[in-house]
Amino acid sequence: MDPQYDHTKYESDIYKKWEDSGAFSPKNVGSNPFTIIMPPPNANDPLHIGHARFVAIEDILIRYHRMKGEPALWVPGSDHAGIETQYVFEKKLREKGKSRFDYDRNTLYKMIWDYVQENTGLMESQLKKLGASCDWSRFKYTLDPEIVKIVYKTFKKLYDDGLAYRGERIVNYCPRCGTAYSQLEVDYVERDDNFYYLDYGSVTIATTRPETIFADVAVAVNPKDKRYQNIVGKTAKIPLINREVPVIEDNLVDISLGTGALKITPAHDPTDFEIGLSHQLPVISVVDEKGRMTGTPEKYIGMKAEDARAEVVKDLEAAGKIKKVDVVHHTVGTCYRDHGAIEPVVSKQWYLKVEPLTKRALAAIKNKHVRFAAKRYEKIAVNWLKNLRDWNISRQIVWGIRIPAWRCEKCLEWTVTDGPEPFECSKCGDKSLTQDSDTFDTWFSSGQWPFVTLQTAKAGDFEKFYPTSVMETAYDILPFWIIRMIMLGLYVTGEVPFKEVVIHGLVRDREGQKISKSKGNVINPIEMAEKYGADSLRMGLIWGGLIENDITLDEQKINGQRKFANKIWNIARFTLQESGNDNKTGVKSLNTDDRWILDELKKTAKLVTKYLNKYRLNEAAEEIYDFVWHKFADIYIEKIKDRHQAAQPTLEKVLDKSLRLLHPFMPFVTEQIWKETGNKDLLINAKWPT
């Protein structure tokens, strides 16, 4: 053996041996398989450090259960990533002075498809670099034709059951991304804005958005507010245009906010929209889907809403209609992609009626059919499920799975299919049909990921491996993905998609700051793996904290684990010095030190197993680290150096068991040492110590 462990000599060859041996495919498939469906990374992006953390966690679990003799299946995959991918592609177009609107739908889709294909394979090679022992023969992509067919089938079933519907409601719209979002995709930020008190004749109202006064259809007060009882049923007058609107009562009005009198603008505020529905008020829109003014006095038409606000304020001041201006601290919806302001607009979209779906999901969690390893995340999931509104599943983008709905040009009714284009309208029989140009929200298709992957993999996979054992992912997509997988899995299959949920926290820099390009503190996982070894990076990513918590990471921490890999290597070199020596003695010659280290080994194996079963991976890693470095190397090996030959059987036994215990955490160095000790079989297939 070389004096030092050099990961660059071994890692790629070892991975190829694992893959060629078929070790990643489940063996002896019978009862109690252990299955993980990989959260699919973006197909065309390189892995970031958060991806590396989930790889480390999930690979530890899959290798552990594989060594326990369970049929272990880890299904890999990649995501087309809808708006994420189109957003990145549009940025590249802008760099060339182009826009998505310069191309027809089919051309733009083909351009994005080619862009994704150019980068496809990068993510897969990086997963291999990190040692991910997933079954590549079952690799899935969210745009695989057989997966798209199942997504269509699910939508058709929802539509036929009255759970999918086409409705005109107020939606969260990003004028820059050009698409609507669901409530979960809006980031709410706190900020201070001017609060304008405007003279509406019979009443004073307060608003942060004076540019929308032209869309007002009423003024509402709370029926419990005695200040305004004398004007209810009368009218107020919108300044600048002098249009009279009724004064109405509604319990949704907050008495304590502003003047307690609320201008009702159903097209541009969710609360106003609900009030407008209950009072059957008209809907007038003055901000279009590009964020520009429309249907206003001519001078404002075409202005961006924020620019129009300043002009309207000037005109209100000139007309003497601003009574005062305060500053209000409030929350504002922003796009989770570009962080600009969300524009609430009324639009026709496809929705899922979520209440029947959330009820079943809540029952599954309550009855422990789905268990959360960390109870605090169960509380978060339950809270989201209880407060989820109907889910807008249509997106105004081209990149994704196009909605299989056709509108009849004659009767204007919709025909939904689960396959090819229909020949005629299902309502009137006319043959003039036009497909909806919208695509599905990415989370609608990925919400079906556990069952679509297994239903389209190998024959019998769904029956053998569903429900899956564990869904492991980051906490920031718990409301986007976890709860929706539970909802749709139960709806389509009648069973939960996974039995346990394991959530991991974010990776932060050494100062605890969130890692981002803007902060300049990005840690490239592939660069770290190439510099220090995949084993060192993996250990660094689980070291020092429960997996459900955020962790800090820097090169020093990773380098510390590289030193540990070298320590294991040197222990093996020492042990192998006397390996095969005819003078070594058997078990009968055990002395006090031998018995002590074997007893400590037994305790360590028991604890590591216990921690792994409870998903306390950091404690498992720290336990085996302490045993190998301190108890085995620092204490036992130092004590037996003058009786090396006599201690040889114990040395070899402890090294053997230590390599097995270490393998899920540091698979490359342990596999190479396993080979150096003369084993013909691969360590990945060895039995877990009992």
pLDDT at residue number 308? 96
Please give the model's pTM, rounded to 2 decimal places.
0.87
pLDDT at residue number 582? 47
Structure tokens at 128: 């291999």
Residue at token pair 């919806």:
333
Helix and strand counts by DSSP (H, E) for the chain: 22, 25
pLDDT at residue number 588? 52
Buried b or exposed e, range 357-380, using 16+ CB within 10 angstroms: bbebbbebbeeebbebbbeebbeb
Tell me if 684 sits within 8 A of 66, measured CB to CB: yes
Domain at 553-685: CATH code: 1.10.730.10
Going by C-alpha positions, the residue among 214, 219, 216, 215 that lies closest to residue 203 is 219
In sequence order, what E strands does 436-574 have? 439-440, 468-474, 498-504, 507-508, 551-552
pLDDT digits (tens, 9 = 90+) for 368-414: 999 999 999 999 999 999 999 899 999 999 999 999 999 999 999 99
d(CA 219, CA 217): 7
Structure tokens at 611: 């921690």
Structure tokens at 535: 């084993």
Low-confidence ranges of the chain (pLDDT < 70): 579-588
pLDDT digits (tens, 9 = 90+) for 158-182: 999 999 999 988 888 888 888 888 7
Peptide linkage before 525 cis (omega within 30 of 0)? no
pLDDT at residue number 581? 54
d(CA 312, CA 366): 53
d(CA 189, CA 181): 16
CATH match of 7-16+26-140+443-508 with 3.30.590.10: no
Residue ranges, comma separated, of all CATH 3.90.740.10 domains in the chain are 180-344
Residue ranges, comma separated, of all CATH 3.40.50.620 domains in the chain are 7-16+26-140+443-508
Structure tokens at 526: 């592939």
d(CA 664, CA 660): 8
d(CA 288, CA 268): 10
Domain at 180-344: CATH code: 3.90.740.10
